[in-house]
Structure 1
Amino acid sequence: METQEIYRGRLIDHIQLVVRDLDASRRFYEAVFGVLGIPLGGSGDDYFWADELFISTPDSDAAQGQLTGRHHLAFQARDRATVDAFHQAALEAGGRDNGAPGERPYHPGYYGAFVLDPDGNNIEAVYHGAATFSAKEIRVTF
């Protein structure tokens, strides 16, 4: 691990996506992470990670079992403008549109955008509307 500090406190501990083209995925995710304000946590020859998302090649030691199909992953956005910027950055970085930014019927105030990453995974940024959080983030230092 390249850093001795991580952020925790959300529902998901981590997700791993196994991808065909690590360089294409790195370009895509670095672009959308930049918009969302998520720093890259670390990387190696066959993987990279940020927050709870770990992305690797099929031959990485971390990629065990059979390759699976599409996945859906949603990132939290701080406002509607960030959702819009996420969508634009993702398309410019090789993603494909899977739902332009806009209100969704899931609950009042749900504003999201969907793109397919280079491997066809459905990646979303969502702003749930104005809310009060007890803390911006949870910081864990080792």
Structure 2
Amino acid sequence: MNLAGIAHIQLSVTDFPRSRAFYRALCEHFEMQCQYDDPGSENERPMLYYIGGKTGLLIRPVNPEYAGARFHQYKPGLHHLCFRARSREDIDAFHEFFESTLAALGGKLVRAPQDGAWAAGYYSIVFEDPDGIRLEINHVPGKGNLSEGVELPLPARVPGGVPEQA
């Protein structure tokens, strides 16, 4: 079976209204299309769902017993979510957008755009949503590590070891 990609990712958030504002701004910046923006009802939890760039992103609130929990990337489950940009310039423009919009909505910049050793031409920015869920946007030119003749950098050989922030 040859996969076509990841159909969607669902993230659970502790404060849905706060996260709704953050992810609406993020997804609209990515030119994704809103499929559902449902405030919920007595019997249904709210949800926010966007599709674009062959990606679906669904945001829903955590169960009440987890309302005070904080995301930690080294607990079981998701470590971080990385989106792929089409150019380095997109990442630089996103950095400006992050500073002007997402920071005010509870986002935290972890690492400004910089080159990385994960692939030839690797360039990325790392940030967190209001719950501390780690997000990254990267750009790798061409086929990246799938290019013929590429020698893959092993994480232990990346300068500084495996980066905590990504």
- Pair in the same fold by TM > 0.5: yes
Q: Does residue 50 of the first structure (1) align with residue 50 of the second (2)?
A: yes
Q: Does residue 106 of the first structure (1) align with residue 99 of the second (2)?
A: no
Q: Does residue 117 of the first structure (1) align with residue 129 of the second (2)?
A: yes
5+ residue gaps, structure 2, are: 40-45, 65-69, 144-166
CA offset at residue 33 of structure 1? 1.9
More helix by share: 2
User: Residues 18 and 57 of structure 1 are in contact (CA less than 8 Å); yes or no, is this contact kept in structure 2?
Assistant: yes
Equivalent residue of 1:119, what SS?
A: coil
4+ long deviations beyond 4 Å: none
User: Residues 36 and 77 of structure 1 are in contact (CA less than 8 Å); yes or no, is this contact kept in structure 2?
Assistant: no
CA RMSD of aligned residues (A): 2.7
Which structure carries more relative contact order (alpha carbon 8 Å, separation 6+)?
Answer: 1
In the alignment, the residues of structure 1 paired with residue 30 and residue 90 of structure 2 have an alpha-carbon distance, to the nearest angstrom, of 7
Residue correspondences, number: 120
Pick from 97, 102, 126 the counterpart of residue 109 of structure 2.
97
CA spacing shift, 1:58–1:122, aligned 2, 3 Å: same
Q: Where does residue 19 of structure 1 map in the other structure?
A: 13
CA spacing shift, 1:87–1:32, aligned 2, 3 Å: farther
User: Residues 16 and 54 of structure 1 are in contact (CA less than 8 Å); yes or no, is this contact kept in structure 2?
Assistant: yes
5+ residue gaps, structure 1, are: 1-7, 61-66, 132-142
Equivalent residue of 1:41, what SS?
A: strand
| TM-score of the two chains, using structure 1 as the length reference | 0.71
What amino acid maps onto 1:79 in structure 2? Answer: S
Q: Does residue 39 of the first structure (1) align with residue 33 of the second (2)?
A: yes
| TM-score of the two chains, using structure 2 as the length reference | 0.62
User: What percent identity do the matched residue pairs reach?
Assistant: 31
Q: Does residue 28 of the first structure (1) align with residue 22 of the second (2)?
A: yes
CA spacing shift, 1:29–1:50, aligned 2, 3 Å: same
CA offset at residue 69 of structure 1? 4.0
